[in-house]
Structure formats: C-alpha cells, structure tokens
A = this chain, B = another copy of it.
Amino acid sequence: MGRQTEPQSLSSGYFAFAINRFPVDFFGTFWYKVPEEFLGINHSIYTMSLLVVGSIAYDTIETPMMRRENVLGGSAPFFAYAAGFFSPVRMVGVVGADWLPEYTEMLRKQGIDTAGIEIMPDGKTFRWSGKYHNDMNDRDTLETQLNVLGTFQPKLPEDFRRSQFVFLGNGAPSTGLAALDQIQGADLIVADTMNLWINTTRTDLDALLKRIDGLIINDSEAKMLTDEINTVTAARKVLTMGPKFVIVKKGEHGAMFVSEYETYTVPAFPMENVVDPTGAGDSFAGGLMGYIASQQGNLDGETIKNALVYGTIVASFGIEGFSFDRYKEINRTNIEERREAFREMTAF
C-alpha cells in the first residue's frame, strides 16, 4: 500500500506484490532493481523486515497498588518486543550514558536487531513519569524529561533503510518524517500519534499523514484530530488526510480497523488483573504489525482481523505486569492459547 502513497516506491519496492491484493509485475520491478543489488546495498530479499523508530524511556509509574522507578519503557521497546513474538524486528531509538546493556541483551533475545539504538555518551535517557487513577483507564503525566530524545535525529543503519514494514512510534512527527526520508521502497508504513502532536505540531503531522499507509490512534485522539464526535466518522475522516486505513484503539473497549471499503472490530480481552497499562498501545501495534510481517504483508480481511486479535492478546499479557515483567514470562504458545480462549469468547 506504500506504493499508492509514495510513487517512487512503485519502482523500488521488491515485494510490493505482497501487500497488494492484485498481482503486480514482480519480474518487471525485480529486474529493474538488480543493478542496485550489485552496488552492494544490503537488504534481505527473502525475509520480511519490520522496522520501528520510536522513543526509548525510563518510566516511573505509580498505580493504586504500587510504584516502580526507572523501568524500561517507550514506544520502540514495547512495539519491538511485542512484534518479536511473530517476526524479526529492527529497532531505532536513542538513549543516554545511563542505558543498561542488560536491556539491549533482553531485546536481542527477543529477536530484535538493536543496531539502531544510538547511545549518546553525554546525555541521559528520556524519562517519563505517570500516575494511574483507580480504574487504570486514565492517567496523569507527572513529569517528562526529554533528555537525549529532545534532539533525536534518527539515523537508520544502512541495512535498515530497505525495510518492508515500518512503524513510526508515537513521537514528534518531524522524527517520523526524518526517518521516512531515509527509507526506500517500504511496502507498509504505519504511524502512531497522540494529542500532544495534534495540538502542537499540526503542520508536520499533516505532512506525515500524507506519507503513511496506516494510522494507529486512540479514539479520543481520532476525534480530536478530525473534530468529529463519532468514532467511525472520525476514522473515515482520517482517510481523507492521507492514510489508506486507520486503526482506532479504544483501550479496555477493543479496537477497530477502518479503510474505504472495510470495517473490522474486535473487543478487548476481558481483564481483571491490570497491573500497569503503560505501553499497551505500542504493544498492540507491535503484535499487529509483527503478525502482518509474518504473513508477508498480506492484507486481506482475515489477516487484518487476526492482526487486530494478536495485537489485543499480546497487549493483554503486557498489562499484567510492570514494564516488561510479564512479557519475559510468556512465549508464542501462551499467546496462541489465549487467542483460542478469546475466539471461544467471541466467535458466533
């Protein structure tokens, strides 16, 4: 679908056929691109490649039950770890001298290529502090220290620039644009955004919307972005701003996929034991994109619905513990078991 929004990728996309529903001239584009191969550009032709560019954070989190200081957070780690259950992932982000090598190791064990984590020896890692209300659905941001994130200029390693699937985690739209300037021939580009960027950097955000295939956004923020009061109407209006599809996250109420001709909806997995919802949206996006990547980017209805479900299921595990605590205990089998339980709860 990247082909439709970025004309130049028509000629540079190797496996563009994977994302489209209609057969395209695979051999035509293939032979056209061969010379670049000989020039030494290193990109994997035969494996899917999923790239995430986003924030890396040390979070301090208060819930009605507990408080934890300086635990790993940020859109890129949550996305990458969740996607890693389904597909190899390439991660780009920036950290400070206080970065703990054990986190790099944890991400690598999950199949994440950490070559894109830039360590700024003179800076400190981005810090976010938040407090959850009683029902865990609302939270207040207590403090934000941008630190090295304040001057983040994403630098994609050479072999990351040819990634089939790209996710731009919630962050300044200018960061997303800077990343896209380094990316060629992606088949599917999806971005997340939030109220801060809608309110403060609307021009950049509008430019970004024109260069992505899909937007993942909270329901309240979809309404804010479009000045609409109905969620479905808001999603449809986003489609006029650039993206070919919108995925609306509704927290404990599930998620919805809307494109011009398709609507899919999935409830949340019913949860009692919500320990820490931080990163749930990024984990949802990670499970969703990781699954799509594992299906070679096939975007038929079945794949999209399963992607929504896998995103839902992976996120449901994540919020059962602080930071990555729960993720470290589970594997793909646990995910499949809960997916099956979810199917039993919903299939009619």
Contact = CB atoms under 8 A, between A and B. Distances in A.
A100 interface: no
Contact of A347 (B231, B272, B347): B347
Interface stretch (A76-84, A173-181, A338-346): A338-346
Interface stretch (A28-36, A162-170, A250-258, A292-300): A250-258
Given A305-B348, A345-B265, A346-B264, A135 B229 contact: yes
A263 B345 contact: yes
A272 B253 CA distance: 17
Is the interface on chain A under 10, 10 to 19, 20 to 34, or 35 or more residues?
A: 35 or more
A229 B264 contact: no
A70 interface: no
A71 interface: no
A334 interface: no
A302 interface: yes
A157 interface: no
A231 B254 CA distance: 14
A315 B86 CA distance: 38
A114 B253 CA distance: 38
A121 interface: no
Interface in A202-244: 229-233, 236
A119 interface: no
A66 interface: no
B272 A265 contact: no
A64 to B, nearest CB: 9
A348 B309 contact: yes
A272 B252 CA distance: 21
A133 to B, nearest CB: 9
A33 to B, nearest CB: 35
Nearest to A301: B344
A230 B135 contact: yes
A274 interface: yes
Contact of A346 (B258, B266, B270, B274): B266
A270 B252 contact: no
Nearest to A309: B348
30 contacts: A134-B229, A135-B230, A136-B229, A136-B230, A230-B272, A230-B274, A231-B270, A232-B270, A232-B272, A233-B272, A253-B254, A253-B267, A256-B267, A256-B270, A263-B270, A263-B345, A264-B345, A265-B268, A265-B270, A265-B346, A266-B348, A267-B267, A301-B344, A302-B348, A305-B346, A305-B347, A306-B348, A343-B348, A346-B346, A347-B348
Given A230-B271, A263-B270, A301-B344, 8 more contacts: A230-B272, A231-B252, A232-B270, A253-B254, A258-B270, A265-B345, A266-B348, A306-B348
**Which 10 pairs from chain A and chain B are nearest by CB?**
A253-B253, A305-B348, A267-B267, A135-B229, A265-B267, A232-B272, A232-B270, A309-B348, A233-B272, A134-B229
